[in-house]
Each structure stands twice: as structure tokens, then as C-alpha cells.
A = this chain, B = another copy of it.
Amino acid sequence: MKIRIGIIGAGRIGKIHADNLLRLAQAEVVAVSDLYAGPELEVWAADRGISTVTKNSDDIIARPDIDAVFICSSTDTHVPLIKQAARAGKHIFCEKPVSMDIAQTEEAVEAVRQAGVKLQIGFNRRFDHNFKRVREHVQAGTIGDLHIVKITSRDPNPPHEDYIKVSGGIFMDMMIHDFDMARFLSGSEVEEVYAQGNVLVDPVFAKYGDVDTAVVTLRFANGALGVIDNSRQAVYGYDQRVEVFGSKGSVAVANDHPNTAVVSTAEGIVSDKPLHFFLERYNDAYIEETQMFIDSLAKGAPLPVEGNDGLQAERIALAAKLSSRLKRPVKLSEIHELSKA
């Protein structure tokens, strides 16, 4: 028996999840909803044997024959959709972030808990072959006790201004992946954050109170220190590296490249740039996160990343945002109080 899925939000990422689900023997995509559904989406769905196309996500959540929904619509819709789907007994895969408001995310997580359904958050990087290998080494004790975690995450190009406007800012939109990675790799919670940022790539970020370059230091509950650097523009391509360092050594992962070719000429030694952006770099990771969600539903395996993981990453992002604004380190225990101010 196949897991029957409805996709809510048929933008780029919604379509990627649909295509990845179609490759799985245990899953069946039966419906897709999108506010802007039209002939184009209908053709797309028909090509894939997806029978229902609708503008209204209620049509999906109401259907008793649907086991799970993928929430790939805009961030502001996530929490209401999660609550609604949870009440309807659907398992949920939701893109990151759950919301930009910790209290709302907490409500969503609570609704899921009460409904007894499963909620997986789309932290796709946890499924990347490189980062998984780092975590394996950390867990196996290869590097001993953890001392320093370093994460570099730089996009090849800044997003469009329309997106910057609603993105929630670099910490909530972009670095949230790295905050999750910090927790994933260290196996420890973050206790304190200090965020430095600046507008160095494009003045448009300043217009929305955002920065495009940021360096954030972390202090983990286990005493380890961390540092994350983000840039909205690395002209040489998507830059996604981590290094963990401890009492017995270090594990570091470099970028993925389209090939291993090294050209040696009178001008120097040259190789091709890293894989361009997240679709190229995390293609296999997207496939695997979908596979593991379905496996969890079909076989009762534990979820690889849960609602609480979404919540914790958002809490760190909020602490970073507050630190950047207050120009001082912020403890995660302070954010509730500080947010009210």
C-alpha cells in the first residue's frame, strides 16, 4: 500500500519534492494545490499522472484518502496549514522555516504533538553526503570531544529584491540552515549567539534593515564554540563547507565540483567552479529527505528531522537577529524577554 500525498504550493521546491516522490515505489502523489494553479500546472500534473489540481489547499487537507501533505507554500501560510493538516490527521512535511514567530512555531509543533501526526522540517542539508559523513565521524568519536564548529555558507547570487523584502532577513532565511547544521553536527544545543553583519554586497539589503554578510559566533551547551559565516554572493559559486575540530582531530568537508578535471597551462593550475547552487549541490539530499519521510510513514522509522528541530533553529536565528540589533551577545534564554521589548 502506497502513501498518498498532496503537495501544497507548486513553486520550484514543491515540484522538486513531487518529482522525487514519483521515483519512490511506496509513494503516490495524488493532488497538488497552488494559489496560482492554471493550465501550465495542469499539464505538469497530467504528465506525472497527478489527478487533482486545485487552487485551494482545503481540497487537499479535506480528502480522507490523502495520508500526508508537503507544505511548500509561502512561509506565512505554514503555521495555519500545519495546524489544519494536523487536526485532519495528516502527516506533514514542511519547508523551513516553520514561521518567523517563535510563539507561532511553538503552537504548530504543539498542534502536531496533540494530533499524534508526524512533522518533518525541510532541512535538506542534513541529507548531504558530505555533512552526513562529518556527523558520522563526530558521533563515532573520531575527533574526540568537540571544541570548535566552523560553517561557511555563501550563495552564488543574492536573491531578487522582491524576495529580500519578505525573506525575514539573513539569519532567519539563510543562516537558519547553518544553525540547524550546527545542532546536527555538534549534537548539542546552542546557548549563546553573537552576530556581526554588514551590507557589503548590495545596498538593497540595507533598505530592508537586512545585511548581506554576517559572521556569527556560537557557544554550545557542551562548552564548544562555533562560528558561521554567510555571504549573499560568492562569485565563484555555492560555497558550503564545514569543519569540526576536537580533542582528537578534525573533520572538514569541501565543496562539490561538477568534475575532477585539473587543467595545467602556462597561466596556472585551474579547475571548474563548485556546483552552482542548492539545486545542483543538494539534488541527492532532496531525494533522500523525501525517501526518509516516506520510510518513516511506511515503516514507522523515526523522523530524521522533526518539528522541534525547526523550532530550535528559529530560536537561534532570533537570538542572532537580536544580537545584531543590540550589538551584544544574546543568550537563548533571553529571547522570550527580549522579543517582548
Residues of A near any B CB (own CB < 8 A):
23, 25, 47, 129-130, 132-134, 137, 142-143, 145, 147-148, 150, 154, 194, 196-198, 200-201, 213-215, 217, 219, 223-227, 229, 231, 233-237, 239, 245, 247-256, 258-266, 268-274, 327-329
Selected A-B contacts with CB under 8 Å, 18 pairs: A129-B258, A129-B259, A130-B259, A148-B213, A148-B215, A148-B231, A194-B194, A213-B225, A235-B248, A236-B265, A236-B268, A249-B266, A253-B259, A254-B260, A268-B271, A268-B273, A328-B328, A328-B329
Task: Decide yes or no: A235 and B249 within 8 Å by CB, A47-B25, A147-B201 being known contacts.
Answer: yes
- Please determine whether A236 and B249 come into contact, CB atoms closer than 8 angstroms: yes
Task: Decide yes or no: A263 and B142 within 8 Å by CB, A148-B215, A217-B196, A223-B200 being known contacts.
Answer: yes
17 additional A-B pairs beyond A194-B217, A197-B225, A328-B328, beta carbons within 8 Å, are A130-B259, A133-B258, A147-B231, A194-B194, A200-B224, A229-B245, A235-B248, A235-B265, A235-B266, A236-B250, A248-B265, A248-B266, A249-B263, A249-B264, A249-B265, A251-B264, A268-B273
- Please indicate the chain B residues that have their CB under 8 angstroms from the CB of A129 in the complex: 258-259
Nearest-neighbour CB distance to chain B for A331, whole angstroms, equals 10
Nearest-neighbour CB distance to chain B for A238, whole angstroms, equals 11
CA distance A34 to B13 in the complex (A): 41
